[in-house]
Amino acid sequence: MCLAVPGLVREVDGLRAKVDFGGITREVELSLLPDTQVDDYVLVHAGYAIEKVDRESALETMKLFREMAEAVDKERSS
């Protein structure tokens, strides 16, 4: 019930921002994320930024995909 799309903040003007969603730029409200800065990634739902997307965490999650994909049970109870 929560379609939210990540985008890169290009400009901030008070509680509004211009966000780049990869090929398109849209105006986004920052009332729910007032500390947003240029160059942050944000998740946008219904025209509002609802959370920052953390770069380090994103990379970490991708690494975890790799770890999980390569994990093998060393001991398996039969």
Partner 1 sequence: MTRDESITLAHGSGGRLMHDLIERVVVRALANPVLETLDDAADISSLVEPGRLAVTTDSFVVQPLFFPGGDIGTLAVAGTVNDLAMKGARPVALTLGLIAEEGLPLVDLERALRSVAETARAAGVVIAAGDTKVVERGGLGGLILNTAGIGFVPDGVELGGDRVREGDVMIVSGTMGDHETAILVAREAFRIDETIESDCAPLHEVARLILETAPDTRAMRDPTRGGLATTLNELSSRSGVGIEIDESAVPVRDDVRSVTDILGFDPLYMANEGKVVAVVPESDAGRVVEALRGHRLGRDAAVIGRAAGEPGVTLRTKVGGARPLLMLEGVQLPRIC
Partner 2 sequence: MSRTIDFEAFRTGPDADGLVRRIHELFEGPTALMEVCGTHTVAIGRAGIRSLMPDGLRLLSGPGCPVCVTPLGEIDMALAAARRPDVVLTTFGDMMRVPGSESSLERERAGGADVRIVTSALDAVEIAAGEPSKEVVFVGVGFETTSPTIAAALMTAERRGVENVSVLPFFKLVPPALDLLVAVPGRALDGFLCPGHVSSIIGSNAYEPVAHGADMPCVVAGFEPLDILAGVVMLLEQVRDVRSGGAARVETQYARAVRPEGNRTALELLDEVFEVVDADWRGIGTIPESGYALRERYAHRDAGAKLGVDRTRPDEPEGCICGAIMLGERIPADCPLFGTVCTPRDPVGPCMVSSEGSCAAHFRYERR
68 lies in the binding site for partner 1 (CB under 8 A): no
50 lies in the binding site for partner 1 (CB under 8 A): no
Among 14, 23, 66, 75, binds partner 1 (CB under 8 A): 23
- Residue 22, sorted as left (phi over 0), alpha (psi -120 to 50) or beta, turns out to be left
5 lies in the binding site for partner 1 (CB under 8 A): yes
- Taking CA atoms, 73 is separated from 61, 64, 68, 76, in Å, by 21, 16, 11, 6
Among 3, 62, 69, 72, binds partner 1 (CB under 8 A): 3
